[in-house]
Amino acid sequence: MSEWYDGKIKTGGFFSSVKVMYEVKYIGPTADGEIRSITQIKEKDGSTLAKLEYQQSPTLAKITMFAVYDWSTPNFAIGLMKLYLKRIKKEKIPIVEIEIYDTDNTTHNQLTLFKKFGFGIESGGNLIGYNKYHLKKKL
């Protein structure tokens, strides 16, 4: 089962924008909730721009996978996060969490994005050579 949404992402200039589609897909049940994914797809050629996977229960939503394949403009990631947070607020889930591991050069972009949306860093540390950040947002 999946739902489709359409949107536009401004890419810089006054008239420049990209038409995108969002696929929200149910993946499976968990003990107290469900797992879903949101995929952002460029309408023109069908290429995947970003993907987010999350697990939700009545009291907590946890982002388990967040990948942006095109960081040429951070607006692709912003559009994906806006749709995700809108869905979580609609379902009245009070807390959103994510763990980010510093594995490549996009970690700074991800941390900046989540801070922009009001996530606070709860803890950080080093795990087998990688920095780990635990971010949390109360809605």
Given CATH 1.20.140.10, say whether it is the number of domain 2-138: no
The Cβ of residue 32 has, within 10 Å, a number of other Cβ atoms equal to: 11
Contact 17, 10 (CB under 8 A): yes
For 1-139, where are the alpha helices, taking DSSP H only?
Answer: 75-90, 107-116
> What does pTM read for this prediction?
0.91
Task: Give 34-47 pLDDT, tens digit per residue.
Answer: 999 999 999 999 99
pLDDT at residue number 27: 96
- Rounded Cα distance, 46 and 39, in Å: 11
- Rounded Cα distance, 90 and 83, in Å: 11
- Rounded Cα distance, 60 and 21, in Å: 26
**% of the chain with per-residue pLDDT over 70:** 99
